[in-house]
Structure 1
Amino acid sequence: MATKNYTVEGMTCGHCEMSVKEEIGEITGVTSVSADHTTGQVSVEGTDFNDEQVSAAVAEAGYKLV
Protein backbone atom coordinates (compact mmCIF):
# COMPACT_ATOMS: atom_id res chain seq x y z
CA MET A 1 0.00 0.00 0.00
CA ALA A 2 1.39 3.38 -0.98
CA THR A 3 0.29 6.92 -0.19
CA LYS A 4 1.17 9.74 -2.56
CA ASN A 5 0.49 13.44 -2.12
CA TYR A 6 -0.21 15.85 -4.96
CA THR A 7 -0.92 19.54 -5.40
CA VAL A 8 -3.91 20.34 -7.59
CA GLU A 9 -4.34 23.76 -9.14
CA GLY A 10 -7.80 25.31 -9.37
CA MET A 11 -9.76 23.66 -6.55
CA THR A 12 -11.71 26.46 -4.88
CA CYS A 13 -14.63 24.78 -3.10
CA GLY A 14 -16.08 21.59 -1.70
CA HIS A 15 -17.60 20.69 -5.06
CA CYS A 16 -14.12 20.89 -6.60
CA GLU A 17 -12.82 18.49 -3.94
CA MET A 18 -15.67 16.08 -4.63
CA SER A 19 -15.04 16.11 -8.39
CA VAL A 20 -11.33 15.43 -7.97
CA LYS A 21 -11.92 12.69 -5.39
CA GLU A 22 -14.53 11.02 -7.59
CA GLU A 23 -12.30 10.90 -10.68
CA ILE A 24 -9.20 9.70 -8.81
CA GLY A 25 -11.28 7.15 -6.90
CA GLU A 26 -12.16 5.44 -10.19
CA ILE A 27 -8.50 4.51 -10.83
CA THR A 28 -7.96 0.78 -10.41
CA GLY A 29 -5.98 0.13 -7.24
CA VAL A 30 -6.91 3.37 -5.46
CA THR A 31 -8.47 2.65 -2.07
CA SER A 32 -8.72 6.12 -0.52
CA VAL A 33 -8.62 9.75 -1.67
CA SER A 34 -8.69 12.90 0.44
CA ALA A 35 -8.66 16.45 -0.89
CA ASP A 36 -8.46 19.91 0.67
CA HIS A 37 -9.36 22.84 -1.55
CA THR A 38 -7.92 25.38 0.91
CA THR A 39 -4.41 23.97 0.48
CA GLY A 40 -4.82 22.33 -2.95
CA GLN A 41 -3.49 19.09 -1.49
CA VAL A 42 -4.73 15.65 -2.50
CA SER A 43 -3.64 12.42 -0.84
CA VAL A 44 -4.11 9.13 -2.70
CA GLU A 45 -3.72 5.70 -1.11
CA GLY A 46 -3.66 2.34 -2.85
CA THR A 47 -1.60 -0.06 -4.91
CA ASP A 48 -0.61 -0.21 -8.56
CA PHE A 49 -1.54 3.36 -9.55
CA ASN A 50 0.84 5.91 -11.04
CA ASP A 51 1.27 9.66 -11.39
CA GLU A 52 0.12 9.65 -15.01
CA GLN A 53 -3.19 8.04 -14.06
CA VAL A 54 -3.73 10.57 -11.27
CA SER A 55 -2.84 13.45 -13.58
CA ALA A 56 -5.32 12.21 -16.21
CA ALA A 57 -8.07 11.81 -13.60
CA VAL A 58 -7.45 15.31 -12.26
CA ALA A 59 -7.58 16.67 -15.83
CA GLU A 60 -10.85 14.83 -16.41
CA ALA A 61 -12.27 16.66 -13.38
CA GLY A 62 -11.16 19.96 -14.94
CA TYR A 63 -8.03 20.69 -12.92
CA LYS A 64 -4.31 20.04 -13.18
CA LEU A 65 -1.46 18.78 -11.06
CA VAL A 66 1.32 21.25 -10.28
Structure 2
Amino acid sequence: MTITWNQTFTWIDGTFYDRDIIYISVQNNINTSTSMGKFFFTIMSAFAEMEAELIRERVLSCLDAAKAK
Protein backbone atom coordinates (compact mmCIF):
# COMPACT_ATOMS: atom_id res chain seq x y z
CA MET A 1 0.00 0.00 0.00
CA THR A 2 1.34 3.40 -0.99
CA ILE A 3 0.75 6.29 1.36
CA THR A 4 0.33 9.57 -0.48
CA TRP A 5 1.43 12.98 0.70
CA ASN A 6 -2.23 13.99 0.89
CA GLN A 7 -2.97 11.12 3.30
CA THR A 8 0.04 12.12 5.39
CA PHE A 9 -1.09 15.75 5.40
CA THR A 10 -4.60 14.73 6.44
CA TRP A 11 -3.16 12.75 9.35
CA ILE A 12 -0.87 15.63 10.38
CA ASP A 13 -3.72 18.14 10.11
CA GLY A 14 -6.02 15.93 12.20
CA THR A 15 -3.33 15.34 14.81
CA PHE A 16 -2.58 19.05 15.04
CA TYR A 17 -6.28 19.84 15.35
CA ASP A 18 -6.82 17.19 18.04
CA ARG A 19 -3.92 18.56 20.08
CA ASP A 20 -4.67 22.27 19.48
CA ILE A 21 -1.36 22.75 17.64
CA ILE A 22 -1.06 25.71 15.29
CA TYR A 23 1.68 25.85 12.65
CA ILE A 24 2.96 29.36 12.01
CA SER A 25 5.70 30.18 9.50
CA VAL A 26 6.72 33.81 9.84
CA GLN A 27 8.99 33.69 6.79
CA ASN A 28 6.29 32.23 4.51
CA ASN A 29 3.33 33.92 6.19
CA ILE A 30 1.49 30.64 6.87
CA ASN A 31 -0.75 30.34 9.91
CA THR A 32 -2.91 27.22 10.16
CA SER A 33 -5.22 28.87 12.67
CA THR A 34 -6.72 30.90 9.80
CA SER A 35 -8.78 29.65 6.88
CA MET A 36 -6.26 31.08 4.37
CA GLY A 37 -3.39 29.37 6.19
CA LYS A 38 -5.19 26.01 6.10
CA PHE A 39 -6.02 26.57 2.42
CA PHE A 40 -2.41 27.39 1.54
CA PHE A 41 -1.11 24.37 3.48
CA THR A 42 -3.61 22.13 1.65
CA ILE A 43 -2.64 23.49 -1.76
CA MET A 44 1.06 23.02 -1.00
CA SER A 45 0.41 19.41 -0.01
CA ALA A 46 -1.39 18.85 -3.32
CA PHE A 47 1.59 20.29 -5.23
CA ALA A 48 3.98 18.10 -3.25
CA GLU A 49 1.94 15.00 -4.06
CA MET A 50 1.77 15.92 -7.74
CA GLU A 51 5.54 16.47 -7.87
CA ALA A 52 6.19 13.12 -6.19
CA GLU A 53 3.92 11.38 -8.69
CA LEU A 54 5.63 13.07 -11.64
CA ILE A 55 9.03 11.97 -10.35
CA ARG A 56 7.71 8.43 -9.91
CA GLU A 57 6.34 8.40 -13.47
CA ARG A 58 9.65 9.64 -14.90
CA VAL A 59 11.65 7.04 -12.99
CA LEU A 60 9.37 4.22 -14.12
CA SER A 61 9.53 5.49 -17.70
CA CYS A 62 13.33 5.50 -17.61
CA LEU A 63 13.39 2.01 -16.11
CA ASP A 64 11.09 0.76 -18.87
CA ALA A 65 13.30 2.38 -21.51
CA ALA A 66 16.41 0.80 -19.98
CA LYS A 67 14.76 -2.64 -19.94
CA ALA A 68 13.80 -2.25 -23.59
CA LYS A 69 17.45 -1.75 -24.58
Same-fold status (TM-score > 0.5): no
For normalisation by structure 1, the TM-score amounts to 0.34
Q: Which of the two has higher C-alpha Rg?
A: 2
For normalisation by structure 2, the TM-score amounts to 0.32
Q: Which has the higher strand share?
A: 1
Question: With CA pairs under 8 Å and 6+ residues apart, which has the higher RCO, 1 or 2?
Answer: 1
